[in-house]
Structure 1
Amino acid sequence: MATYQELMAQKAALDEQTAQLEKQIAETLRAERTGVINQIKTLMADHGVTLADLGAKAGKPVKAPAGDVTRKVAPKYRDPNTGETWSGRGLKPKWLSAALETGRTLDEFAV
């Protein structure tokens, strides 16, 4: 069985190896990114595409459309009398709480 000192030495060697690999990964990503940027610039020049065509201003990155900040959740339960729905999130609506108090089950309202 290895001693504490031996295990700590192994850990230090692995930490050093991790640091070297992280540095190598960063350098490789930087080199690949440079190549991709050059390829994009070449394609843009070949096809006459400008930053304005992409909806960007020089020096500013293009942002993806934000889309809906709040997403609609499909209803899981529906009141057959009124047509009101509940997604199952948040507080139970009053119509559902009242129905459950009368002995009905949640499965009866499932969509």
Structure 2
Amino acid sequence: MAATLKDLLAQRAALDEQIAQTKEREHADAIAKVKSLMSEYGLTAADLSSRPAKAGKTSKVAAKYRNQATGETWSGRGLQPKWLKAAIANGAKLEDFHV
């Protein structure tokens, strides 16, 4: 037998109530778990916000090109620096600056 619209709406209301109760219970469980961990490790709320996140390790890329006149360098990554663009525009070759 096919369910009526009224039956389906009643089922949806019952499910919505179950969802709300489950969310509340899981939220309370999560808070209890966090409090337990904080107590176990002696942490406070201030500890959670005072520790800066460690930035990912970044390594410098070795210079591939150097301006002998000024000592400026370029790794070959990203846009060419102005000093290199100007030198190339004045007739120099990229290879002239290779380290």
TM-score category, normalised to shorter length? 0.3 to 0.5
- TM-score (normalizing by structure 2): 0.45
- Which of these two proteins has the greater Rg computed from alpha carbons? 2
- TM-score (normalizing by structure 1): 0.41
Q: Which has the higher contact order (CA 8 A, sep 6+)?
A: 2
Q: Name the structure where helix makes up a greater proportion of residues.
A: 2
